[in-house]
Amino acid sequence: MALQNGRLVLRGRYGGGPTKLNLSKTGMTVSARNELGSFNWVKPNRSSAKLFGVQVRGKKAVYAHVAYLAITAVVLCIQALAVIALKVGQWVWVGLQYTGRLMLAIPYGVVVL
């Protein structure tokens, strides 16, 4: 909060982490920062992005953020599926090892009986 040319000026970005609270005289908004730029959740047309070194604002920035979000979601889903497949593969391998050990123990069990 300050005086600028005799007028009260109230603005700032507050908060920790990727999400910030934007404060001005006209109200408050919430924005999130990522590698592409800043996306305003309350007033999306005030978002900004940098595409190939060119700063874009407004609807173009919103479209860029939506595309970035979609690509990121697809990549994260593929990574999650890969991790799940690896875990299932590990469980199957452990099950096969136990089954092999039991098969090797069958002749001994028959002799004991």
Closest CA to 27 of 3, 10, 4: 10
How many C-beta neighbours within 10 Å does residue 37 have? Answer: 20
Of the chain, the end-to-end C-alpha distance in Å amounts to 89
Mean pLDDT score of the chain: 88
Q: Answer whether 61's CB lies under 8 Å from 69's CB.
A: no
Q: Answer whether 14's CB lies under 8 Å from 20's CB.
A: yes
Q: Is the pLDDT of residue 1 over 70?
A: no
Binning pLDDT at 50, 70 and 90, where does residue 8 land?
A: confident
The side-by-side arrangement of strands in the sheet containing 48-51 is: 11-14, 19-24, 27-33, 37-40, 48-51, 54-57
Q: Over the stretch 58-67, which tens digit does the pLDDT of each residue have?
A: 999 999 999 9
Q: What is the largest CA-CA distance in the chain?
A: 101
Q: Domain containing 19: what range?
A: 2-112
Q: Which amino acid is at 82?
A: A
Whether the predicted model's global pTM rises above the 0.85 cut:
no
List for the chain the helix, strand, coil content (%; round to 5): 50, 30, 20
Q: What percent of the chain has pLDDT over 70?
A: 96
Domain count, the chain: 1
Q: What percent of the chain has pLDDT over 90?
A: 48
Q: Over the stretch 72-94, which tens digit does the pLDDT of each residue have?
A: 999 999 999 999 999 999 999 99
Q: Over the stretch 21-37, which tens digit does the pLDDT of each residue have?
A: 777 777 788 888 888 88
Strand partners of residue 7: 4
